[in-house]
Amino acid sequence: MTQTISPRSCPLTGTYRPEGDKSLSHRALLFASLAEGESTIRRFLIGGVTRAMLRCLRALGVEWTLDEESHVLKVKGVGLKGFKTPDAPLDCGNSATTFRLLAGAVAAAGIECTLDGSEGLRKRPMARIIEPLRILGAEVESADNRAPLTFKPAKMGSINYVLPVASAQVKSCLLLAALSGNAPSAILEPGPSRDHTERMLAAMSARVRNFSEGYGAVVLPQSEPLKPLDTELAGDISSAAFLMVAATLLPGSDFVLEKVGINPTRTGIVDALRAMGAEITFENETEMAGEPVADIRIRAAKSLSGITIQGDLVVRMIDEFPAFMIAAAYATGETIVRDAAELRTKESDRIAIMAANLQALGVEIEEYPDGFRIQGTGKIPGGVTVHAQGDHRIAMSMALAALRAEAPVAIEHFEMLNESFPDFPRVLDL
């Protein structure tokens, strides 16, 4: 579907409560399946990526019910070894989180199972889970270190492993497999990837904790069943980020995003936008199910200037670069991002695709192997057609580009946003 978006003349005001966080929704559903007993999960994100996880778990014999109106999900846990052998390969759709987290659980479950996904997912790198899973004892085959992967029954040992790149998906995959190990395992990381797995598993009685120095986690074999969850999920800061940028850019805006997760491993976008001049404050800070949450208030920025981003901040805002790049284009001056080669391995090569789209829109951008430079002028000419390239966050970032462009922008494949943020067009009246 092609959507044409005209510049928006009115500010963003009022309040909006985003759906449950994508990472938390995936984890709550999968971990509840591995627990023993019935879990209740409120504000579960209903989107393409979580439907993929739901579908796969049903094929593995997990019973769940989802109320599509209230977003309440009930899951009957089958235990760490309770998956049944599925009749066919599991289709993880576009969801690398489904694929990589499920891989850890399936590797340890003692069943034969093939994990597969969309054409886009088949291009994503999987050596990063295959190699350490084999060290842990998994029997896993793949033709070219990419999906599909076939697992055979195997016993898990233990692992002491340094991840070459910070990745919560890989860390979580290994922690899940190591729960069924025969000795403690340690996963070290070069940066602060999101720690939702450690927090949620610990709340379910797993003996897992983060290192007090450096990054990563240690986990002990799980000797008792994981306890079921009864939880309400924090709102998704990665979806909220698009609205933070929108409110920052639209003159006169004063907008509150309610009950959004502000786990410090996820708030890099707030730090980055504030450093550019955005007016973002946290109000009513509290905790929901072991995760910090707040109402996030955004007022239109008086001015925005370019900044430089590198190191740990990149990891803490890894999914937010498409939205951030629009803010950088509307800022004045140079924005430089380094240490962000991971952006090339996401739902699309986000450096190349964003560079092509921004150039088409009339923005000056230069690619680096591990980042980019945007020369912000405060303006986006627009008046062209751009493509989401199968990537939900590219689709939404192009809508942000259109909000203050000098001419309408047509976005092909706009429906991709349904993967993670189906409410997006309604909130922005698109």
Question: Which residues of this chain interact with ligand S3P, rule CB under 6 A?
Answer: 23, 26, 97, 167-170, 172, 193-194, 318-319
- The least CB distance from residue 266 to ligand S3P, in Å, is 10
Smaller CB distance to ligand S3P: residue 45 or 301?
A: 45
> Least distance from C-beta 24 to ligand S3P, angstroms?
8
Nearer to ligand S3P, 97 or 158 (CB): 97
Nearer Cβ to ligand S3P, position 323 or 402?
323
* Minimum distance from residue 138 beta carbon to ligand S3P (Å): 18
Cα–Cα separations (whole angstroms), residue 388 to 220, 292, 315, 393, 399: 42, 32, 23, 8, 10
State the nearest-atom distance from the C-beta of 101 to ligand S3P, in Å: 7
Dihedral sign (CA 161, 84, 139, 343): negative
Shortest gap between Cβ of 194 and ligand S3P (angstroms)?
6
Q: How far apart are the first and last CA of the chain?
A: 14
Q: Which tokens is 361 given?
A: 């829109």
Residue 305: beta bridge partners? 332
Distance separating alpha carbons of residues 281 and 295, to the nearest angstrom: 8
Shorter beta-carbon distance to ligand S3P: residue 194 or 387: 194
> Please, which residue, 37 or 125, has the CB nearer to ligand S3P?
125
Q: How far apart are CA 130 and CA 64, in angstroms?
A: 29
Decide if 319 is catalytic. Answer: yes
Please report the beta strands in 249-357, taking only residues with DSSP state E, as ranges in sequence order.
254-261, 279-288, 291-299, 308-309, 332-337
Q: How far is the CB of 59 from ligand S3P (least distance, A)?
A: 21
Q: Residue 382 CA to chain centroid, in angstroms?
A: 28
DSSP states of 215-273: EEEEE----SPPPPPEEEPPB-HHHHHHHHHHHHHSTT-EEEEEEEE--TTTTHHHHHH
By beta-carbon proximity to ligand S3P, the closer residue of 345 and 375 is 345
Catalytic residue among 91, 195, 236, 319: 319
Cα-Cα-Cα-Cα torsion 93, 96, 98, 100, nearest 10 degrees, comes to 130
d(CA 57, CA 59): 5
Please give the positions annotated as active site.
319
